[in-house]
Amino acid sequence: MYISITGIKVKGFFGMLKFMRYTIPSFAAARKANGNLFCDSKKISKYHHTLTAWENKNKMLDYLRGKHHALAMKNFRFIGTGSVYGYEDNNVPSWEEAIKKWKENFREI
């Protein structure tokens, strides 16, 4: 399975409005996406994180190309800054393990 961990640091009040406008529908679409096995979000410190598990990387990439995620990414520079880490594994990590892996391996988006 493919695990994806993201972190977005929202820029101020207007960034939060854009965050709510674009990322909330994108996250809802991820929950319903073909191949999604697990989908959760959590705010830790100043970052809004998502933790998702997919049947495989191709299923995750299909979701990334979808309408909701593409619209969120088109507006990303108005929302904030962020980073992502993805990897193959047989188990969905705990939040503690996921954040540790993200901190050690993330790449800026």
At 39 the pLDDT is 97
pLDDT in tens, 73-91: 898 989 999 999 999 999 9
Alpha-carbon gap, residue 17 to 11, rounded angstroms: 10
At 109 the pLDDT is 82
CATH number of the 2-108 domain: 3.30.70.100
CB-based burial label for 63 (10 Å; 0-12, 13-18, 19+): buried
Residue closest to 92 by CA, chosen among 42, 40, 49: 40
Q: Where are the beta strands (DSSP E) in 11-78?
A: 36-44, 47-54
Give this prediction's pTM.
Answer: 0.92
Identify the segments of the chain with pLDDT beneath 70.
none
Alpha-carbon gap, residue 93 to 45, rounded angstroms: 19
At 108 the pLDDT is 87
At 66 the pLDDT is 93
At 32 the pLDDT is 96
